[in-house]
Amino acid sequence: MSNSTGDKPSTPLHSVSVAGAVIREDGRMLAIQRRDNGNWEPPGGVLELNETPEEGVVREVLEETGIHVEVEQLTGVYKNMTRGIVALVFRCKPSGGVELPSSESVAVEWVTSEQAAERMSEAYAVRLLDATQTNQTYVRFHNGKSLNKRHEEK
């Protein structure tokens, strides 16, 4: 993308990421420990220009965890107000594969809701917890760690 004068430089540009809230039949959820910062998060990453959000989720989860998934529904939209990143989170069900760390993850585990809340910052744990609610889509804002309650939908 060029930054020529025709690109309206006054318009802020957001980065869009996708993440999978992969939930097994026993209720455990897929989580990775990131290689770059050691944080526990749902698997995900930057959405590429040539793919749909659903394709991006399937690719990112497979790349980071070795697990194949089927996308079920969008469960939340989360904006990091500090960094201008909008994350689309989709509830997925596993459809095959074996959990394996990758170049981006040092650990891949199936965690309980309690373990997710203990290991992850609020801004990431809520993505998994929100996905356990059926037929509900959340819109939330955060600073990278904690949720910002302003304008939050219930």
Q: Would you say residue 120 lies in a domain?
A: yes
Q: Would you say residue 3 lies in a domain?
A: no
Closest residue by Cα to residue 146 from 124, 119, 127, 122: 122
pLDDT at position 7, please?
Answer: 57
Q: Would you say residue 1 lies in a domain?
A: no
The CATH number covering residue 25 comes to 3.90.79.10
* Residuewise pLDDT in 10s, the chain (154 residues): 444 445 556 778 899 999 999 999 999 999 999 999 999 999 999 999 999 999 999 999 999 999 999 999 999 999 999 999 999 999 999 999 999 999 999 999 999 999 999 999 999 999 999 999 878 899 999 888 888 865 444 3
Q: Would you say residue 132 lies in a domain?
A: yes
Within 4-72, residue ranges assigned H as helices are 53-65
Q: Would you say residue 58 lies in a domain?
A: yes
Q: Would you say residue 9 lies in a domain?
A: no
Q: Would you say residue 61 lies in a domain?
A: yes
What length is written for the chain?
A: 154
What's the domain count of the chain? Answer: 1
Domain interval for residue 84: 14-147
The residue with tokens 């990453």 is: 45
Tokens of 153: 């939908």
